Structures are given as C-alpha cells and as structure tokens.
C-alpha cells in the first residue's frame, strides 16, 4: 500500500532523511520509533504530501506522492503531533467542515460524525467548542478528524504523547480496533505501545533506518525473548560452554551474577540443568523493545 524508496530530505545543512526505504502492506500497522530528531515526522509528512522530498520515490496505493498529491491526500487520514484544531468551532462543526472539504456526501456525513464521536467516547461533547476540551479530548477529536472521510490509510504522529494512562490506553485500544481495516503508520516514543500495537517496527536514527522487523524479530536479534538473571553459589564453577546450547543467545558473567539470554522459555530447563546446584536465585526478565532500541541506537 505504501512504498518508500531511497527517500532523502534536507533542511539546509540538516539531513533529516538519508536514503531511507521501507514499505507498509495492505492492512498492516507499521511503527516508526527513533530518538528526537531522527526524522520520523519528516518521513510521514512526505507520505502525507505535506512536504516535498529532495530525492527518492514514495508511492501510496500505486500513486506517486509528488505527481498525484490530491488523490493521495484523499486516501490518507493524518494526525499531526500537535493537531491544529479550530478553537471556536464545536466538535461537530469542525468535523463537518473537514468532511465537506474531503467531499463526504452530506447524507452520510452526520451519521459518520455521530458514530466516530461515540467510538472515541466524545458523543456527549459534540456541541461543545474545541477550546473547552482537554488535551486528551483534543487528541480524540484529531483522530476523528483524520478518519472523517473514511480513508484506507491512517498516519498517527505520537497519538498518546502527554496523555494520562487511562486516556492513552483507550486511544491505543481504539487504534487496535482499526487494525486490519486500515493501513497504518504510527510514530511513537513509547516502546510498549509499539510492541503492543505494531505488526512491524522500523527503527530510525539520524535519518537512517537501522532495522525493520516484527517486535519479536527485533528482540531476537539483540537478545532473544528473555534473559535469566542468575545469582551463583560459586562463580568459578560456571561452565561457559552453556553458550553452545541451542537457543542460548548470549552469556555474561559479572562477579557472582550470570546473565543468560534465551531465544524462548522452552530452553530454561536445559540451562538450569547445565548449572546443576550452582544457582542461588534466578529472575526472569522479558526482553522489551526498549532494550532493542537502546542497543541499536547505541551501536549505530
Ligand atoms: P521528534 O521525535 O522530536 O518529534 P522526529 O524524529 O519526528 O523528532 P523530525 O521532526 O523529522 O524528527 O526532524 C528531523 C530533523 O530535521 C531534525 O534535526 C529537525 O531539526 C529537522 N527539521 C525538521 N523540520 C524542519 C524544518 N521545517 N526546518 C528545519 N529543520 C527541520
């Protein structure tokens, strides 16, 4: 559905995107994670036809974003990092305005607005002005605005940034419900959010893609699914040949602490058997996308 090929964008001397390529399949949710200034917003603004690329190709549904921006825009719902909503409009008037702008037929627009407002829990605030809304409410209205023309693609830039945990969770659940129905790109700083929602994740740093894969693939590249943190009775008795056991990804001995990273938990009994009675205590730590992110960005 979305193909990005050798994309470059600079702002003066700043190279925001340095030859990046990735794709998003039909109905897939691709996460883009990366530190501040990595180029995430620049990449999605080019896909959403808000910025012009310097070089490279971006095709959305087979259409080139630089040649067919109007058609491409009609296929995309975009939630910017800070949605600029018309403060004096009521929620309903704002959504009507955008719906009409996108050519949504009047006979379906009202019912679509009602339905979407209900879905994001804002049905009872439809006639209130935007300037009376909290940050979380604005974010919900921003998402509805992105969806009002029922686009096949939804691009979300930090949709849960700065929201309280309950509101963030309800927005995540809403995005999850759209999975499969919409093709989506989600930029986020929250690794748990990316892990929970995304089919694949692209890690961007200094304008370059470090890796793209499912959260599971990315985790297994650096550590495996989990790490055993073992406190040893006698460190001198540890057999480091444990690394040869199939499924053991890494071993690190530091004093009386031994860390063993495993592909999955089915290998735990084999490893524990190999340590015999030398284990004083053991703690199991699941690998998170945070670990992947820190490791990859540090090594780039
Ligand atoms: P954040 O996580 O902080 O939102 P980001 O990954 O979205 O960051 P971008 O906003 O894409 O990063 O910025 C990438 C680089 O391009 C940064 O160095 C930024 O300063 C620069 N940049 C982005 N937009 C402009 C602009 N309009 N003019 C000048 N420089 C820009």
Each residue's pLDDT tens digit, 99-120 = 999 999 988 999 999 999 988 8
Q: pTM, whole model, 2 decimals?
A: 0.85
Whether 156 is in the pocket of ligand 1, judged by its Cβ within 6 Å, is no
Quick one: which atom of ligand 1 is closest to the CA of 35? 2
- Which residues, in sequence order, are CB contacts of 223 under 8 Å at separation 6+? 249, 250, 261, 287, 291, 292, 295
Tell me how far apart the alpha carbons of residues 284 and 268 are, in angstroms, rounded to a whole number: 10
Helix ranges (H only) for the chain are 40-47, 69-75, 91-101, 106-119, 135-147, 165-178, 191-197, 215-222, 268-275, 289-298
Burial of 70 (0-12, 13-18, 19+ CB in 10 A): exposed
| Domain assignments of the chain as residue spans, ordered by start | 2-215, 226-298
Instruction: Dump pLDDT digits (tens) for 22-41.
Output: 999 999 999 999 989 999 99
Quick one: which atom of ligand 1 is closest to the CA of 38? 6
Give me the phi and psi of 49, to 5 degrees please: 65, 30
The residue assigned the tokens 């470090």 is 210
- Which residues, in sequence order, are CB contacts of 69 under 8 Å at separation 6+? 49
**Residue 21: which pLDDT band, with cuts at 50, 70 and 90?**
very high
Tell me how far apart the alpha carbons of residues 214 and 31 are, in angstroms, rounded to a whole number: 10
Give residue 82 CA to ligand 1 midpoint distance, Å: 14
**Summary mean pLDDT of the chain:** 91
Give residue 275 CA to ligand 1 midpoint distance, Å: 50
Whether 280 is in the pocket of ligand 1, judged by its Cβ within 6 Å, is no
Tell me how far apart the alpha carbons of residues 91 and 144 are, in angstroms, rounded to a whole number: 10
Whether 34 is in the pocket of ligand 1, judged by its Cβ within 6 Å, is yes
List, edge to edge, every strand of the sheet that includes 63-64: 14-24, 2-11, 55-60, 63-64
Whether 52 is in the pocket of ligand 1, judged by its Cβ within 6 Å, is no
What stretches of 172-247 adopt beta strand conformation (E)?
Answer: 183-187, 200-205, 208-213, 226-232
Instruction: Dump pLDDT digits (tens) for 83-92.
Output: 788 888 999 9
Diameter of the chain measured on Cα atoms: 78
**CA 33 remoteness from chain centre:** 6
The per-residue pLDDT for 70 is 93
Give residue 37 CA to ligand 1 midpoint distance, Å: 5
Give me the phi and psi of 102, to 5 degrees please: -90, 5
Instruction: Dump pLDDT digits (tens) for 169-184.
Output: 988 999 999 998 999 9
CB 197 within 8 A of CB 172: yes
Whether 36 is in the pocket of ligand 1, judged by its Cβ within 6 Å, is yes
Give residue 230 CA to ligand 1 midpoint distance, Å: 43
**Both structure tokens of 161:** 């940034």
The per-residue pLDDT for 119 is 87
**Both structure tokens of 104:** 């949504």
For helices 215-222 and 289-298, the axis angle rounded to 10 degrees is 60
**Residue of 37, 48, 187 best suited for mutating to test ligand 1, as the one with most atoms within 8 Å of CB:** 37
CATH value of 2-215 in 3.50.50.60, 3.40.50.2300, 3.40.47.10, 3.40.50.300? 3.40.50.300
Whether 37 is in the pocket of ligand 1, judged by its Cβ within 6 Å, is yes
CATH 3.90.470.20 is held by the domain 226-298: no
């Amino acid at each position: 559905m979305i193909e990005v090929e050798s994309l470059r964008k600079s702002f003066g001397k700043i190279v925001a995107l340095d030859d990046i390529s990735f794709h998003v399949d039909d109905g897939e949710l691709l996460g883009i994670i990366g530190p501040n200034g990595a180029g995430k917003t620049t990449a999605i603004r080019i896909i959403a036809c808000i910025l012009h690329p310097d070089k490279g190709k971006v095709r959305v549904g087979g259409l080139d974003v630089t040649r067919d921006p109007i058609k491409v825009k009609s296929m995309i719902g975009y939630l910017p990092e800070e949605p600029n909503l018309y403060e004096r409009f009521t929620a309903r008037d704002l959504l009507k305005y955008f719906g009409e702008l996108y050519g949504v037929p009047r006979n379906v627009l009202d019912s679509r607005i009602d339905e979407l407002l209900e879905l994001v829990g804002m049905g009872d605030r439809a006639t209130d002005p935007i300037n009376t809304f909290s940050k979380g409410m604005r974010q919900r209205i921003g998402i509805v605005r992105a969806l009002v023309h029922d686009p096949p693609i939804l691009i979300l830039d930090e949709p849960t940034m700065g929201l309280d945990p309950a509101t963030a969770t309800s927005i995540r659940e809403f995005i999850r419900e759209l999975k499969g129905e919409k093709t989506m790109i989600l930029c986020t700083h929250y690794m748990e959010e990316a892990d929970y929602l995304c089919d694949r994740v692209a890690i961007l740093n200094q304008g370059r893609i470090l890796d793209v894969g499912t959260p599971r693939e990315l985790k297994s590249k650096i550590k495996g699914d989990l790490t055993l943190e073992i406190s040893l009775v006698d460190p001198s008795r540890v057999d480091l040949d444990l690394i040869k056991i199939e499924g053991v990804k890494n071993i690190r001995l530091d004093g009386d602490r031994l860390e063993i990273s495993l592909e999955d938990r089915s290998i735990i009994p084999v490893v524990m058997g190999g340590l015999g009675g030398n284990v004083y205590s053991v703690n199991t730590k699941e690998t998170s996308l945070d670990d992947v992110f820190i490791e990859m960005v540090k090594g780039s």
